[in-house]
Structure 1
């Protein structure tokens, strides 16, 4: 089968309905795409990429050695090994020191998920750990920040987009060490780390 693949950045789909408007802070976009020989093979490949995106626990393998570690956790705080669902949490282990409030991890919650014939995606927002009474996020970004992961099929093209919006460091913590860490980690992430990681993940998701 003669199929051509192009993994260069393609930002044509980052304005999807799951992506909130950019109002403050910084925005980061990453994308990659594959062009298949027929719409039928593109549909099969779309389903494959969708499956990869749903299995969050494999993201670090897909993105490569520079990636953070991701673990899907349910609302009771238990690790789960299945497809992501709305209301689930992602426990993230980034390089460097972890925050004390999140027990060494950063946490986001899947607040909205969309699953259509030619588009699948979900949006996450920084949150406290599941099954806790904390109101502020256990994350180096504040709770106005979001990340949206989408895969879209358009004809013979399958596109993955990852869109960070309104990202700012989290100052909602009484712990001075965490506050300093959040500024340092958020600055490093905004400078390069998030862009590198999300681009590696996008390219890995559409790899063959």
Structure 2
């Protein structure tokens, strides 16, 4: 097993329930130096959450600090991401879907460089004991990865344990989450994440 594959197994949560999804884009650089430059630029874009909407094309993303205040900086562990997806939002999330940055991992081992952000559905940041404000249950994770292996650069999104959140919130929220969650299970969220990873790698 290569160092690259070992790193992937250590970063991406195991799949144990619901559905999963993987979106990947890659580029091959002409030299190691060019690859390192591309990796560093792509990693910076990955941490710039507020710009994700430009690449994803569907939803808008806003980085929020641990106190629920808009943040105009690179993402950090413990931050929230407010997601504005097309169509009505939930009452629980005050019109939005919410995830929290559970972990940011950085690996630099020889010819392998990795930056990963792992997020999980959560409550609205101002509702400390609140219900999950996302169309998926908090079993779900999304792992966003930028990786360099030699001259090969990849940008990836890996969704794991995706189950529609139909147990929390109002009757309206449950119905809305079921519809959006089922759309995701049918693959309708794939184009957005594919656009995002492609956009991260663009010059």
Structure 1 unaligned regions, length at least 5: 1-11
Deviations 1:110-155 (A, max 9, x none): 0011122311011000000113233421000000000000011000
Deviations 1:159-198 (A, max 9, x none): 1110000000112324101001010011112213211100
Task: Label 1:168 to 1:73 Cα distance change in 2 as closer, same or farther (>3 A).
Answer: same
Task: Label 1:199 to 1:174 Cα distance change in 2 as closer, same or farther (>3 A).
Answer: closer
The equivalent position to 2:52 in structure 1, one of 45, 49, 59, is 59
Task: Label 1:72 to 1:83 Cα distance change in 2 as closer, same or farther (>3 A).
Answer: same
Which secondary structure state, in structure 2, belongs to the residue aligned with residue 193 of structure 1? Answer: coil
The equivalent position to 2:131 in structure 1, one of 129, 132, 136, is 136
Aligned position for 2:162: 167
Give the Cα separation in 2 of the matches to 1:57 and 1:88. Answer: 12
The equivalent position to 2:150 in structure 1, one of 149, 152, 155, is 155
Does 2:185 match 1:190?
yes
Alignment of 1:56-205 (within 5 A): 56-64=49-57, 67-117=58-108, 118-205=113-200
Residue 13 of structure 1: how far off its partner (Å): 8.9
| Conserved? CA contact 1:137–1:172, under 8 Å | no
Give the Cα separation in 2 of the matches to 1:24 and 1:134. Answer: 25
Give the Cα separation in 2 of the matches to 1:167 and 1:22. Answer: 9
Question: Aligned pairs, how many?
Answer: 195
- Considering only aligned residues, what root-mean-square deviation do their CA atoms show, in Å? 1.5
Give the Cα separation in 2 of the matches to 1:24 and 1:192. Answer: 17
* TM-score of the aligned structures, taking structure 1 as reference length: 0.90
After TM superposition, the runs of 4+ consecutive aligned structure 1 residues lying more than 2 A away are: 12-16, 133-136
Structure 2 unaligned regions, length at least 5: none
Residue 14 of structure 1: how far off its partner (Å): 9.2
Task: Label 1:156 to 1:150 Cα distance change in 2 as closer, same or farther (>3 A).
Answer: same
Aligned position for 2:18: 25
| Conserved? CA contact 1:108–1:139, under 8 Å | yes
